[in-house]
Amino acid sequence: MTVHKSSVLILQCQDWSETSQVVHILAREAGRLRCLAKGSRRGLNPFSGPLERWTCGQAVFSLTDPNRLSTLMELFETERFAGLREKLPAFYGASALTELILAIVPDAERQPELYDLAVESLRRLASADGRECPALTFAAILRVLQRLGYVSATDRCAECGRHLASGPADFSPGHGGPLCAACRPPAAIRAAARTREAVAFLLAAPWDEVRRVRLAPATAAQVREILQARLEELAGRKLASLRYV
């Protein structure tokens, strides 16, 4: 058994018994893990009370067989994103991002940049007003997919690499990006020029600029369609929470 100390983000909590919980965490130094938090539901415990999702802290945990639960031994809470529980648009955005991470991020694979991106995304959503949340949510999901190598550039064909002129584009759920006419498969999604521009902007713009964007309903619907199709290709299902963003 190896004991680790790392910054962690709690993604999901499930009651395991009258006194314990199974906790899904994203650890900066160890990746995504499922841990047993023994005694976390007792009045006195090493976790300052029952654990809740969307909480950051410094944790001590043990790693054993990858097919078994790790053990969360201690957690000192450092940040709680209260705004995610107080505003419905932020709640749905955080739920969609969490669902994405749980669905496609590999177990026990160290990815500190992904951890930083997830924490910053939740921080932005927690401080945003309702009108800012759709663009922030789409940007967070796109950037997680990009970090994992599941989204390609919007100015080149995702299959052959040929430069694409500006304008409407055919997005491929299987390739994670637009395709040229020669590579276009039957299942491609025809996206308007504004949708393509929105995806490129959401992938690269500073967060402060993203939060000022108000996507037109038609553009938001197409971005959502592209993301759901890509996630269904990767995980075998759509994100339930994303329909509410």
DSSP class per residue in 119-177: HHHHHHHHH--GGGHHHHHHHHHHHHHHHTT----SSB-TTT--B--SS-EEEETTTTE
180 & 240 share domain? yes
- 10 is in which domain, residue-wise? 2-80
- Check pLDDT > 80 for residue 136: yes
11 & 68 share domain? yes
Q: Which of 80, 95, 126 is the last residue of a domain?
A: 80
124 & 147 share domain? yes
Q: What is the spatial distance between Cα 92 and Cα 125, in angstroms, rounded to a whole number?
A: 10
174 & 54 share domain? no
Strand order across the 189-191 sheet: 177-179, 169-172, 189-191
Q: How many domains, in total, are found in the chain?
A: 2
74 & 101 share domain? no
50 & 100 share domain? no
Structure confidence at residue 1 as a pLDDT band (50, 70, 90): low
Q: Which of 63, 80, 97 is the last residue of a domain?
A: 80
Q: For 205-215, what is the mean pLDDT?
A: 96
Q: For 201-216, what is the mean pLDDT?
A: 96
Q: For 162-191, what is the mean pLDDT?
A: 92
Q: What is the spatial distance between Cα 103 and Cα 124, in angstroms, rounded to a whole number?
A: 22
pTM score: 0.93
- Check pLDDT > 90 for residue 187: no
Q: What was the pLDDT predicted at 63?
A: 82
Q: What is the spatial distance between Cα 168 and Cα 235, in angstroms, rounded to a whole number?
A: 27
pLDDT in tens, 89-126: 999 999 999 999 999 999 989 999 999 999 999 999 99
- Check pLDDT > 90 for residue 16: no
- Check pLDDT > 90 for residue 203: yes
Q: What was the pLDDT predicted at 45?
A: 73
Which of 38-47, 65-74, 83-92 has the weakest average pLDDT?
38-47
Q: What is the spatial distance between Cα 88 and Cα 97, in angstroms, rounded to a whole number?
A: 14
Q: What was the pLDDT predicted at 18?
A: 84
Q: Is 66 or 156 the better-scoring residue by pLDDT?
A: 156
114 & 234 share domain? yes
58 & 161 share domain? no
3-state secondary structure at position 104: helix
- For residue 236 the two structure tokens come to 């075998």
Q: For 159-173, what is the mean pLDDT?
A: 93
Q: For 232-236, what is the mean pLDDT?
A: 94
- Check pLDDT > 80 for residue 64: no
72 & 88 share domain? no
pLDDT in tens, 24-35: 999 999 999 999
